Amino acid sequence: MRYNAPKGTTDILPDTARKWQYLESKAANMFKNYGYEPIITPIFEHTEVFTRSIGISTDIVQKEMYTFKDKAGRSLTLRPEGTAPVIRAYVNNNMQQLPQPVKLYYMGPMFRYERPQAGRYRQFWQIGVEAIGSDDPALDAESILLMINYFKSLGLKGLTLYINSMGCDKDRPKYMELLREYAEANRKRLCKDCQKRIDLNPLRLFDCKDESCQLVMKDAPKLLNYLEVDCRKHFNMVKRYLEMQKIEYIVKPELVRGLDYYTKTTFEVISPFLGAQNAIGGGGRYDKLVEEFGGSPTPGIGFAIGTERLAIAVEKEGAFDSIEDRMDVFIAVADQSAKPNAIDILYALREAGISADIDYMGRSLKAQLKYANRRGFKYTVFIGPEELEKKRVAVRNMETGEQIEINIDELIKVMRDIVMERF
């Protein structure tokens, strides 16, 4: 019986996996330059980690979480996003005792039960950062700049940055009441899910993709118009820092993101290559989230990038073309009697830092060369009884066809130089 991958999942085959590794290594290098360190959290958490932080009114909690009970009857959930687990780890491991802000990054799979579509799977990967411990608007700007500069380092162009402020404790209650009154007056024009959101959290009305709901919310009061003085100053400083770095942005009052824990700054980056699902990254500030996990009041900000969507955008931009993923050397064995010596040379090449491989299928010399061409090796080293007797081997540049002879005792040193110089 043949088995297919579960619906909403996909196998990441070598060609794609190499590209993802490239995206992740570029991210890790840039995050390190900004002072961020890696963190790895469990793939599943106690369900309350997400219901308390993400919000009971969100689509993620109401419709999309993979929740199950273990043998002891405890409710566990496959992580649908990365921020809540990182904050749980921050509190759990007393990271408030470390020099603040604590700057962390993560990479790995997340899980949401939703309709599979291009660049959006039920098991999906994210690259994310969190900076915990400071409410400085310069840190908001750094988070945005880090994401933008990472995208630029990958060769992405034509991106659009949206920003907004979600307000804070002083201004949000008054605004929420106004929004609730507006939504109540338009209840009959809203979908059934949005009618429930009026009581649960009217901010979630801005998330709805239903066309009639979007028309209603287009004329709804916007939180930006009700910000109190300190919150407005914070948002203005974020904008100023972005402008100082020549970063173009669009203020989008409807940008509330899909999670309840956001406060103050929210942001999102859109790619022109992704159709309807065009957001490749976004995030925001969450100044109350640490308290939700039992920690003392501690501000924070972060973002997450969808690896699948990012890979699609980079592919369509043609920016993967420069990735060097060919192996260096293939050893072609002319006769099986030379195989032991060829194996010795194979491991010597690898120990010298040269990527190398050999035939394990008993192919003819002609078939070995065909295989080396298909796999895209840069060079082929020919070894047989005659080469061993003369202690000289032929090395062929597989791209140009140029061929040279090398003393077998000097092969490793010369090949290292050749690989570096690309003869």
Tokens matching residue 189? 């024009």
pLDDT of residue 57: 64
CATH superfamily for domain 14-171+227-317 = Bira Bifunctional Protein; Domain 2 (3.30.930.10)
pLDDT at 274 over 60: yes
Contacts 24+ apart (CB under 8 A), 400-407: none
CATH number of this structure's domain 329-421, picked from the four choices 3.40.50.800, 3.40.50.1820, 1.10.3720.10, 3.30.70.3450: 3.40.50.800
At residue 329, what are phi and psi to the nearest 5 degrees? -130, 135
Query: Which whole-number Å values give the CA distances from 185 to 49, 224, 225, 254, 392, in the listed order?
Result: 35, 21, 20, 19, 88
Spell out the long-range contacts of 169-174 with Cβ–Cβ below 8 A and sequence spacing 24 or more: 169/288, 170/228, 170/230, 170/231, 171/223, 171/226, 171/227, 171/228, 171/231, 172/223, 174/226
What residues form DSSP beta bridges with 108?
Answer: 126
The predicted-structure confidence for 173-208, as pLDDT tens digits, reads as follows: 888 888 888 888 888 898 988 888 888 888 888 878
Q: What digits encode the pLDDT tens for the residues 88-124?
A: 999 999 999 999 999 999 999 999 998 777 667 899 9
Query: What is the DSSP secondary structure assignment for residue 334, as one 8-state letter?
Result: S
The CA distance from 131 to 100, in Å, is 9
- The helix (H) or strand (E) run that includes residue 163 is strand 160-165
Output the CA–CA distances (angstroms, integers) from residue 67 to 23, 60, 72, 78, in the order listed.
30, 11, 14, 7
CA distances from 4 to 9, 35, 66, 203 (A): 10, 42, 20, 40
**Among the listed residues 50, 68, 276, 251, the one whose alpha carbon sits nearest the alpha carbon of residue 165:** 251
What residues does 124 pair with on adjacent strands?
110
Find out whether 23 and 52 touch, Cβ atoms under 8 Å: no
- pTM for the predicted model, two decimal places: 0.88
Examine the pLDDT at 159 and tell me if it is beyond 70: yes
Where do the domains of the chain lie?
A: 14-171+227-317, 329-421
What gap in Å lies between CA 94 and CA 326, rounded to an integer?
A: 45
Percent of the chain beyond pLDDT 70? 96
Identify any residues that bridge with 265 across adjacent strands, giving them in sequence order: 165
In sequence order, which residues have a C-beta less than 8 Å from that of residue 374 and are 6 or more positions away? Answer: none
- Over residues 117-135, the pLDDT tens digits come to 766 789 999 999 999 999 9
